[in-house]
């Protein structure tokens, strides 16, 4: 089972993930309309690219935009969840050991204690997000069962990985569950709301061009990170 999960099924998961990202990105770009979306592609192109880059850059930092500052608590929770998720996944020592063994390269790693803290931060932030969806009426009314399911799928690799690393319970089971849940996450990302992890850059670029060129951005002396 382990060889199958780390072999054929892993390759299948990565194939679906990367091909899905490519297809969704192309569909997003092809779906843009210069009239419908109010974005100029051929007029003021250099200014549009500048504003697109500005929009992406500032939205990558907490409280750097007006949108982030309107909900400070949600912004802090958002960044704790996403930053911890990315760092603990990419720079985990165990993951990089696998990269070195399978493909002959690895990247920098973080200490195990830091990985533990980031994993706990992901799980805690996810719990708060679930409570928020249930407690706040304006969020609860917009939440579907699939939204809760996606949150569970997102945190399952972190919970099972934490349990496996510290050998809580049945280690072979938690390790297999960790691998399988990680591969499931890769497969569902391109086809669900989780696709925002890469479509974010396209939508921010589009909005940056839109607001920067056609909604007063060029007339302002000081640029705004929309």
CA distance 73 to 213: 31
Q: What is the CATH number of the domain that holds 152?
A: 1.20.950.20
Asked if residue 208 belongs to a domain, the reply is yes
Domain of residue 96, residue span: 2-20+45-214
Asked if residue 225 belongs to a domain, the reply is no
Asked if residue 38 belongs to a domain, the reply is no
Contact 75, 69 (CB under 8 A): yes
Contact 213, 46 (CB under 8 A): no
Rg (CA), the chain: 20
Q: How far is CA 19 from CA 5, 12, 16, 22, 193, in A?
A: 20, 10, 5, 5, 17
Asked if residue 36 belongs to a domain, the reply is no
Task: Please report, in tens digits, the pLDDT of each residue of the chain (226 residues total).
Answer: 877 887 788 889 999 999 999 999 999 888 876 555 556 666 677 777 888 898 899 999 988 888 888 888 889 989 999 999 999 888 888 888 887 877 777 788 889 899 999 999 999 999 998 998 899 888 889 888 999 999 999 999 999 999 998 988 888 899 999 999 999 999 999 999 999 999 999 999 888 887 777 665 555 545 555 4
Asked if residue 196 belongs to a domain, the reply is yes
CA distance 213 to 46: 10
CB atoms within 10 A of CB 168: 10
CA distance 183 to 10: 6
Q: Which helix (DSSP H) or strand (DSSP E) does residue 51 occupy? A: helix 45-59
Asked if residue 160 belongs to a domain, the reply is yes
Asked if residue 39 belongs to a domain, the reply is no
Asked if residue 34 belongs to a domain, the reply is no
CA-based end-to-end distance of the chain: 49
CA distance 39 to 20: 26
Q: How many separate domains does the chain show?
A: 1
């Amino acid at each position: 089972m382990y060889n199958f999960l780390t072999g054929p099924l892993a390759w299948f998961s990565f194939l679906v993930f990367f091909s899905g990202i490519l297809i969704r990105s192309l569909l997003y770009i092809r779906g843009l309309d210069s009239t419908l979306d109010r974005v100029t592609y051929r007029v003021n192109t250099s200014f549009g690219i500048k504003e697109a880059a500005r929009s992406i850059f500032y939205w990558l930092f907490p409280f750097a935009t007006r949108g982030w500052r309107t909900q400070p608590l949600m912004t802090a929770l958002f960044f704790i969840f996403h930053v911890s998720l990315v760092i603990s996944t990419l720079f985990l020592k165990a993951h990089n050991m696998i990269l070195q063994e399978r493909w002959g390269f690895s990247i920098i790693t973080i200490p195990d204690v830091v990985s533990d803290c980031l994993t706990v931060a992901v799980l805690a932030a996810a719990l708060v997000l679930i409570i928020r969806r249930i407690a706040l009426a304006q969020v609860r009314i917009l939440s579907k069962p699939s939204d809760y399911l996606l949150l569970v799928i997102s945190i399952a690799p972190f919970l099972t990985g934490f349990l496996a690393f510290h050998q809580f319970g049945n280690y072979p089971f938690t390790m297999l569950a960790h691998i399988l849940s990680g591969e499931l996450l890769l497969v569902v990302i391109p086809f669900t709301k989780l696709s925002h992890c890469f479509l974010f850059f396209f939508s921010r670029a589009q909005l940056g061009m839109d607001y920067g060129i056609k909604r007063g951005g060029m007339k302002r002396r000081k640029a705004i990170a929309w």
